[in-house]
Structure 1
Amino acid sequence: MNETPQVVTIAGSDSGGGAGMQADLKTFQARHAFGMNIVIALTAQNTLGVQESYPIPPAFIDAQFASLAADFQIRAAKTGMLADREHVACVVKNLQAVDFGPLVVDPVMIAKGGHPLLEADAITSIRTELLPLATIVTPNIPEAEVLADCEIHTEADMMKAAKMIQQFGVKHVIIKGGHQVGEQARDYVLFASGESKWLSGPRIETQNTHGTGDTFSACIAAELAKGTPLEEAILIGKQFIQGAIEQGIAVGHGHGPTNHWATLSESIKESKV
């Protein structure tokens, strides 16, 4: 019993299927880990944007945590959309009460179409309550600017912001460089040891990038659930999302989803700092 690698996403539901827990579950399956979900919020959403959102009552979130903890051997977890301060506090309380293994925090704040997915009053809770529980946090540049309370324009700024975010108690920090310009999309990885490196892949000109952050962090969580060493899990996450963008699919009329059945890209380069 319970020998199959198991991983859970604690996130919002994307009715359009490209992001949120749907992207997470597709990624878990693609990486051969059994996926589960704890629903934090429902959204009416498509590739054009988020039309409505409905946070789940905290008591029902408690019930989902209790149900999974009573039966499954969850070996890694990730968070996505957490809605507001009340829901962050609820998730933190439950994570402190269970052992779901390494925690990957994707600090989702704004949807591709601009709809806010995290209330401003929850930022402090993310910093002071959730990040100390996390193994890895994976912000994009706008999210890193909010977490570190600084502007990021250069790669040196990314490195500085990662150190500032690490001071909140999270072990490892990955700042994704997709919002930068240049031929390469470069992610900065800062490890708990103080060592760091860059992961680089060719920038792909496409509007089909809905759910990239969810997919990247979900892949890392799935690999950790399988027992993959941390540094290798991060590299596979970058290879997986690069492949999902390179090997694109056509769905919807706006920011389309990535391809969750793509193969790992061979174009990723690593460089130690």
Structure 2
Amino acid sequence: MAPFANRHARLIAVLRSSSVFGSLRQEILQALAHAMTLRSVHGGQTVIRGGEACDSNAPDSAEQGLAQTFVLLPLLPGASHALGQDLNLAFAKHGRVAHLRAAAAERQLLLNNEALPLEALARIEAAHEFILYETSGGDCAWTRFAFRQADQPIFIAQADAAAPLTPMALALGQEPGYGLKRRHLVLRHAPNCAQSVSPTPWLQGRDLERTYPVRRGSQADAARAALPISGSCAPCRSALSRLT
């Protein structure tokens, strides 16, 4: 699967007009456009165009039709769907959410469990404030496609399990534009856990913006993590260091 064509063309146009990227060779611009979205540089066209001061009267990303895009990438099988449901509910408090999963049929996706053609992606993005791609984390076309489409990868690990650097995670780290994405880790704990474990083992070999301890099955924990992930607020140190 390739990133959606009209998004790619828009990114090429913005990159060419940029004082930062405009002098790069065409093949480099193409590689950047495949890996980026306008939000992946934390400010869309304003930052891409060379870092001019932000116009406080300019419309925000939602008004420009730029959805925030996330991809769930479990480090071990089985963690993605439950967290996807929890984050779906949490994001829904702040805007319209499209929860996207792979469909059985080629060139299709599931939008909130409804099968749609892949060509509907541009319309989906225009109609929602949050796009949440759910993956198995396995090495497949859907995982790579979702990773390339999303601004923010959310890696998922279990606090009571090992922290492997999986072949898929290593491969995604070589994708063009990987360093431009905001990378998070959600560390899932037992439902009755009162104190979060240290995330240090999961930080080895990974460059992450922040880790978020959540209890399995706790909608409150997922909602608390969703706020800083989506940029709705800064993280609360006490809330994120202790599961109480």
Same fold (TM over 0.5): no
Q: TM-score, normalised by structure 2?
A: 0.41
Which protein is bigger by CA-based radius of gyration?
Answer: 2
Q: TM-score, normalised by structure 1?
A: 0.37
